[in-house]
Amino acid sequence: MTDDSAAMPLADEPAEYEVTASDLVYAGRVWDVRSDTVSYGDGEIVRQYVDHPGASAIVAIDDERRVLLIQQYRHPIRHRDWEIPAGLLDVDGESPLETAQRELAEEADLTASSWESLLSIFTTPGGNDEVVHLFLARGLSEIGSAHDRAEEEADIRVEWVPLDAVLDGVLAGRLRNGILAVGVLAAAERLRRTEAAAGARD
């Protein structure tokens, strides 16, 4: 590593390799499975992956420093896991922020006066191309429910949990949803830095 590269911020690097064949293996209701043949090095590799539309997720924190969590059944893991509100980027022309605002209303009957972008993550880069955009929502207000919840959403459990308790659950391995974990850790650090900066100005 050169001195120049050592001074550069660490970052993921985009890489484009020629895709010589791309086959639709399975067309699903929400996402598809593809099989790509890729020119790589001196040969070719074949990789199957979930072709995902992406999603937005929301860390909603109220004035009492509580996080909105929802619990619902997730069949692949056979758990009712705790999550933060989230939804697919499946509406044409809708930005990730607009998706987050819609999902907070649909899943939690809430609106927010303050929205901050936290970060975007690849959830499972070896198995799908999903990108989740995480937002911090503050200044929360209740709105009337206009969304009919069915299937797994019909018995969603909603809880307001102190941020520190959620962090404890993540670090102890009791709360294992990846988007929840990344979201609350990022939100806690954002709040810490914001409060530290405000304290330094005083």
CB proximity list for 107: less than 8 A, separation 6 or greater: 70, 85, 86, 87, 147, 153, 156
* Residue count of the chain: 202
107 classed as catalytic: no
Three-class secondary structure assignment of 21-60 = EEEEEECCCCCEEEEEEEEECCEEEEEEEEECCCEEEEEE
- Give the integer Cα–Cα distance in Å for 171 and 37: 39
Looking only at the bridges linking them, the beta strands covering 55-60 and 131-142 are: parallel
* CA 202 – CA 185 distance, rounded (Å): 26
Candidate list 18, 107, 153, 189, residue with the active-site label: 153
Three-state DSSP class for 67? Answer: strand
What burial letters (b/e) apply to 128-138, b meaning 16+ CB within 10 Å? bbbbbbbbbbb
State the first-to-last Cα distance of the chain, in angstroms, to the nearest integer: 42
Catalytically active residues are 153
